């Protein structure tokens, strides 16, 4: 999922591929961005 977002995937397309809610995807992506800092 993180890879899809880094490759420029939109949340809706990631949601379709991962089967997760947009809120969950947003939270996971934000957590990963926080960890990188």
Cα angle for residues 20, 27, 33 (degrees, 5° grid): 125
Residue ranges in the chain modelled with pLDDT below 50: none
For residues 5 and 29, the answer to whether their CB atoms sit within 8 Å is yes
Give the model's pLDDT for residue 6. 86
Q: Domain range for residue 11? A: 2-36
Can you give the pLDDT at residue 31?
93
Q: What is the reported pLDDT for 4?
A: 86
- What is the pTM (predicted TM-score) of this model? 0.69
CA distances from 26 to 12, 17, 34 (A): 11, 14, 12
pLDDT on residue 3:
87
The two three-digit tokens of residue 22, written as one number: 């947009």
Which pLDDT score is estimated for 23?
Answer: 94
State the pLDDT at residue 36. Answer: 75
Structural domain count, the chain: 1
């Amino acid at each position: 999922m993180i890879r899809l977002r880094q490759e420029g995937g939109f949340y809706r397309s990631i949601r379709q591929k991962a089967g997760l809610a947009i809120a969950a995807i947003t939270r996971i992506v934000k957590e990963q961005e926080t960890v990188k800092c």
